[in-house]
């Protein structure tokens, strides 16, 4: 089958599962005051609009395929909005609507004070598998300005509109994840959009515009130091948001499919053993050692988690 025919088939497959909802979500994320195809540098003044474009269309401005080598800051071809849906405006799981109000704060990962710029760079170097932006760069200042705008907008929004329309929050099953069951969930509920090989559907053949449906593993996805590489974080996101437009997985399905995605190869981050200098603060589902406990690496990656949680609870008493 030719590439074009293949992507047509994918679109047809998606049509069956709510393409209207998807297009509406995508349009919501991409809508903005600035026209789509402007060269980044022309609009590169610190504006909330530029910040929004950076978050919604990250690959087009900071991706590995952009013309200006100095602007190539990410190695993944995800957008921030691949995870922070609706350019971070959407309420609920991974919403950025009030993010800026939580910083600066103490970060257990670095055991130091974390500014909003540090937190954005956490996603730049892990979720986006790229390099940190300078605090005083136009791009960083524009993203921070946009997050400030979101928080002001949130404060002015009625409570009823802030409410997320999401299924009940994910509850951790008391068992190890079942990768085989996860593969079945993936084939039935995810592959139509994300591809049978999980490599997504690029928006254009040269990849410079990123993806319509982002890759879930492999070289263009997030690295193994990212938040979503933690199975419980991924399961919470998947249960709340996926399949996009029709999130209806139960806890078992979300848990198994999150483990399946995270059993697949992806870029590796250096020096992960330096995270969480106080190891007792390391989240139980962190996928890399060292740990303060003696549970196996396998159990930290795929569960069962309740015994590990119980061990730490006792330790803290």
Q: Which residues bind ligand HEC (CB under 6 A)?
A: 14, 17, 22, 25-26, 29, 55, 58, 78, 80-85, 94, 96, 99, 102, 119-120, 123-124, 127-128, 143, 185, 189-190, 192-194, 213-216, 221-222, 226-228, 233, 238, 242-245, 249, 257
Nearer Cβ to ligand HEC (193/308): 193
By beta-carbon proximity to ligand HEC, the closer residue of 64 and 243 is: 243
Task: Look at the block and give the residue holding tokens 């970060």.
Answer: 107
Give me the least distance between CB of 226 and ligand HEC, in Å please.
5
CA angle 209, 22, 181 (to 5 degrees): 100
Q: 187 CB contacts (<8 Å, ≥6 apart)?
A: 196
| Closer to ligand HEC by Cβ: residue 190 or 272 | 190
Residue by residue, DSSP assigns 208-223 as TT-EEE--SSSTTS--
Q: Which is nearer to ligand HEC, 138 or 257 (CB)?
A: 257
Which is nearer to ligand HEC, 17 or 208 (by Cβ)?
Answer: 17
Find the shortest distance in angstroms from Cβ 18 to ligand HEC: 6
- 286 neighbors 230 (Cβ within 8 angstroms): yes
Residue with smaller CB distance to ligand HEC, 234 or 308: 234
CB of 3 to ligand HEC, least distance (A): 19
**CA dist., res. 200 & res. 203, Å (int):** 10
Closer residue to ligand HEC in complex, CB, 138/228: 228
CB 317, min distance to ligand HEC, A: 25
Least distance between ligand HEC and beta carbon 243 (Å): 3
Report, in Å, the least distance between residue 139 CB and ligand HEC. 9
Contacts of 13 (CB under 8 A, 6+ apart): 192
3-class secondary structure, 107: strand
Here the tokens at position 53 are 């474009």
Q: Helix (H) and strand (E) counts for the chain?
A: 13, 4
CB 292 within 8 A of CB 280: yes
Question: Residue 13, CB half-sphere, CA atoms under 13 Å: how many?
Answer: 17
Phi-psi region for residue 288, left (φ > 0), alpha (ψ -120 to 50) or beta? beta
- Give the shortest CB-52-to-ligand HEC separation in angstroms: 11
The SS3 call for residue 192 is helix
C-alpha 127/C-alpha 229 separation (Å) is: 9
């Amino acid at each position: 089958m030719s590439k074009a025919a293949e992507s047509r088939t994918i679109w047809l497959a998606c049509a069956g599962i709510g393409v209207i909802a998807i297009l509406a979500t995508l349009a919501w994320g991409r809508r903005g005051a600035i026209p789509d195809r402007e060269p980044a540098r022309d609009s590169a003044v610190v504006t909330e609009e530029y910040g929004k474009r950076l978050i919604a269309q990250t690959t087009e401005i900071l991706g590995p395929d952009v013309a200006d080598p100095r602007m190539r800051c990410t190695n993944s071809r995800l957008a921030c909005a691949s995870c922070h849906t609706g350019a971070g405006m959407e309420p609920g799981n991974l919403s950025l609507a009030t993010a800026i109000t939580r910083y600066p704060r103490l970060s257990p990962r670095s055991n130091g004070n974390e500014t909003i710029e540090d937190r954005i760079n956490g996603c730049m170097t892990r979720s986006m598998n790229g390099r940190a932006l300078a605090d005083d760069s136009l791009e960083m200042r524009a993203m921070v300005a946009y997050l400030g705008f979101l928080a002001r907008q949130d404060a002015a929004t009625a409570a009823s509109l802030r409410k997320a329309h999401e299924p009940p929050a994910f509850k951790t099953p008391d068992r190890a994840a079942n990768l085989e069951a996860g593969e079945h969930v993936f084939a039935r509920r995810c592959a139509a959009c994300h591809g049978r090989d999980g490599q997504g559907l690029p928006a254009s053949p040269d990849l410079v515009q990123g993806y319509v449906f982002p890759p879930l593993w492999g070289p263009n996805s997030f690295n193994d130091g990212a938040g979503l590489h933690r199975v419980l974080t991924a399961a919470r996101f998947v249960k709340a948001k996926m399949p996009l437009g029709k999130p209806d997985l139960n806890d078992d399905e979300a848990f198994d499919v999150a483990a399946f995605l995270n059993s697949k190869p992806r870029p590796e981050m250096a020096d992960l053993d330096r995270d969480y200098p106080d190891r007792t603060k390391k989240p139980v589902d962190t996928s890399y050692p060292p740990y303060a406990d003696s549970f196996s690496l396998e159990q930290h990656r795929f569960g069962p988690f309740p015994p590990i949680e119980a061990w730490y609870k006792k330790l803290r008493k």
